[in-house]
Amino acid sequence: MDFDMGKRASDLRRELRQLVDDHVPEHFLGAFTDDPADLATAQAFCRILAERNLLCLAWPPEFGGGGASVWEQTVVREEMWAHHEPRGAQYMGVNWVGPIIMRHGTEEQQRRHLPPIAAGEVIWCQGFSEPEAGSDLASLRTHARPAEDGSGGWLVSGQKIWTSYATMAQWCFLLARTSRGDKKQQGLTIFLVPMDDPAITVRPIDCMMGPHHLNEVFFDDLRVTEADVLGSVDQGWSIVQDVMAFERVGIARYARCERLLAAAPTVLGERWDMLPDELRGRWIRMLTHCRRARLMAYRVVAQQSSGRVTPGDAAAYRIAVTTLDQDSAEVLMDIAAEVERSQPRAAWFLGEVEDHWRYSQASTVSSGSIEMQRILLSRSMLKGASR
């Protein structure tokens, strides 16, 4: 089954691939490596996209976007992820921080935060998960208590963990408890806070994905005000649900899987026909799963654009694409073992496959574990069956 997005989308895809060829080194494996030049490459590439009005292509023009369709933005998402996300951490601001501020932010918050995101000038991190509240996010302990000096506002104290990009981010999308309610989802508030505040401490966590992916963040009486609140005080959980819907469909993981799988026969050359039938059968199965995940993503994108996406829809896609990430990585590692290093693109392929395998190990945990996605999907199906 093919899904034709139209001529504009096809032209855009060609333009993006040419920009990547022209401005991103062939062996680029993302911005989050030990080499500072990789982050510099990503930041420069973001500025190039912004100058061409491609960074926030589907944003409304009044917010610095191109006013394009969600399908054109989907093309951007696919091409960026297929090429190791040369936007670096900017995808977070583009995919969900910006759209959430458009939906829930004040005019002042929109004026302050949206132009820098659209220009590719700012990096955000997400202050959600905690040591005792990962998949069960509503059980978080980071709290904001009213300031007692009469100045108004709150003092935030607590700890976040697994916070990607915290060492490089200028702003944090922070979730904290401001009151207690009958349900743990009540009494939560979103704050938009600058990461250079001295009350914030960041400690990197070493991991096999490389630097910047995992960090601990500590808040020691961080002062926040009404102006920092996104939405309404104590009503942050509804915003969190919006965030999850945007975030879980925002990364086109299937695009990188498909690109690497499609490259395998060319890289192996004559050795491809010598592979065991079982391995080539698994390769074909993964290509089929890539198409399945792509079409599931398109379904959610279509629903999201009409404002009717449900947690179950996003969860079903997330389950499909994260298991694809891991299963395809295993197949690709087995294929990579057969590559002759003298082949012209052997070094590129082996580096890409190893990086893909390392990154895939966390895919069924990050942004909500696969177990939680299955629970969300089950609840959605049971709710639908009871109607």
Q: What is the pLDDT along the chain (387 residues), one digit of tens a residue?
A: 556 777 888 999 999 999 999 999 988 998 888 888 998 999 999 999 999 999 999 899 999 899 998 889 899 999 999 999 999 888 889 989 999 999 999 999 999 999 999 999 999 999 999 998 877 889 999 999 999 887 779 999 999 998 989 999 999 999 999 999 889 999 999 999 999 999 999 999 987 776 778 899 999 999 999 999 999 999 999 999 888 777 666 678 899 999 999 999 999 999 999 999 999 999 999 999 999 999 988 888 888 777 666 777 888 888 888 999 999 999 999 999 999 988 888 999 999 999 999 988 887 777 667 787 788 788 888 877 666
Which residues belong to CATH 2.40.110.10 in the chain? 125-234
Which residues belong to CATH 1.10.540.10 in the chain? 7-122
What's the pLDDT at 222? 97
Whole-number Å distance between alpha carbons of 194 and 140: 21
Number of residues that make up the chain: 387
Tokens of 371: 């177990």
Fold of 7-122: Butyryl-Coa Dehydrogenase, subunit A; domain 1 (1.10.540)
Which residues belong to CATH 1.20.140.10 in the chain? 251-385
Which of 325, 324, 334, 333 minimizes the C-alpha distance to 354? Answer: 333
Residue 218 φ/ψ, nearest 5 degrees: -115, 140
Question: Do 140 and 175 form a contact (C-beta atoms < 8 A)?
Answer: yes
Whole-number Å distance between alpha carbons of 117 and 59: 11
Considering the domain 125-234 in this protein, what is its CATH number?
Answer: 2.40.110.10
Whole-number Å distance between alpha carbons of 248 and 236: 18
Residues 6+ apart with CB under 8 A from 278: none
Whole-number Å distance between alpha carbons of 158 and 222: 9
Task: Give the architecture (CATH level 2) of 251-385.
Answer: Up-down Bundle (1.20)
Whole-number Å distance between alpha carbons of 134 and 162: 9
What's the pLDDT at 212? 74
What's the pLDDT at 2? 57
Q: Backbone dihedral region of 153: left (phi > 0), alpha (psi from -120 to 50 degrees) or beta?
A: left
